[in-house]
Amino acid sequence: MKSKTRPSAAVPIELNAVIVAVIGGAPCLLTGDEKALPSGPFESGHRTLEQGLRAWAKAKGGQTLGYVEQLYTFADRDRTKAAERSVSIGYLALVYIDGRAEDGWSPWYDHFPWEDYRDGPPPVIAQKIAPALTAWKNAAPDAATKRARDDRIGITFPADRRLWNEELVLQRYELLWDAGLVAEAGSARDNIGTAMPQDHRRILATAMARLRAKIKYHPVVFELLPRQFTLLQLQNTVEALAGLRLHKQNFRRLVESQGLVEESGGATRGASGRPAKLFSFRRKVLQERAATGTKLPRS
């Protein structure tokens, strides 16, 4: 006797976009109500998913997206509180904003305060995260689990600041989730950082990690800068994204040796009153060779 299989219900597909701009020296993302990422259904009339995202962003918020990259497909059964399962295709998009942040832009370090190492280890690590993770480790049900937790903590939140890996954004967030330190985990314990609905903070963590890795081998950082900029503006933008301070002279030597920028002939007055040369991105470098991005010579 043949078994009858019930037809599975169609799973809705939506697009989630992490749209990033550097505003006032801070990496910011476009958000809506309850700090939600911009999202919308995939329109079958679009030839590609990226085309659909660009059209949607233009229609909804008037944003003309520059660099766009697909991140990941998020489809865990419990990614939303709704009974119906949904699939979200996450995207990273970069835009240049001239001026101050307007309503709807949220600094990403509000959501991930432990990720900004520009002035050394953020105080929240010593004050809240480290004690809570130690308690979580010690509460392990057996020795093997305790060792595994200790290893995760040592890799993601190393005691030696020189071992800090800025690309482990998602691993750190998932560790804090498992330890019940973020609101999205559904725990009544302390919440660190501004929460986001559904799994949007996880999508943001994925985007942050991707962008921090990307700036090392592809010149995407120039999508966040004006057509003409100083080398200090370029360094400040890279530092803001990476959450690290960079060695000034080594950074400039690397940028110039890679042929990524050229003098535009203008100058602007810096904070000290001395004129600073203006540069522009050499877009021809993308055709000349595989551009290597902007390395991060730490201070």
Residue 249 has pLDDT above 70, yes or no: yes
Are 100 and 121 within one domain?
no
Instruction: Report pLDDT for 110.
Output: 96
Structure-block tokens of residue 81: 């509180």
Instruction: Report pLDDT for 108.
Output: 95
247: domain CATH number? 1.10.10.10
> Which of 93, 108, 123 is where one domain is finished?
108
Are 45 and 103 within one domain?
yes
Instruction: Report pLDDT for 276.
Output: 86
On whether residue 198 sits in a domain, the answer given is: no
Q: Give me the mean pLDDT over the 162-179 stretch.
A: 96
Quote the CA–CA distance of 168 and 284 in Å, as a whole number: 32
Residue 22: CB atoms within 10 A of its CB come to 22
Residue 81 has pLDDT above 80, yes or no: no
Instruction: Give the range of the structural domain holding residue 267, as residue numbers without chain letter.
Output: 218-288
Residue 190 has pLDDT above 90, yes or no: no
On whether residue 180 sits in a domain, the answer given is: yes
Quote the CA–CA distance of 6 and 22 in Å, as a whole number: 50
Are 97 and 162 within one domain?
no
Instruction: Report pLDDT for 272.
Output: 61
Number of domains the chain is built from: 3
| The model's pTM | 0.86
On whether residue 169 sits in a domain, the answer given is: yes
Q: Which of 75-79, 127-131, 143-147, 198-202 has the lowest mean pLDDT?
A: 75-79
- For the stretch 203-215, pLDDT in tens is 999 999 999 999 9
Structure-block tokens of residue 13: 């597909």
Are 178 and 228 within one domain?
no
Q: Give me the mean pLDDT over the 10-29 stretch.
A: 86
Are 222 and 245 within one domain?
yes
Residue 95: CB atoms within 10 A of its CB come to 18
Confidence of residue 97 (pLDDT cuts 50, 70, 90): confident
Are 30 and 71 within one domain?
yes
- For the stretch 256-286, pLDDT in tens is 888 889 988 878 765 566 788 999 998 877 6
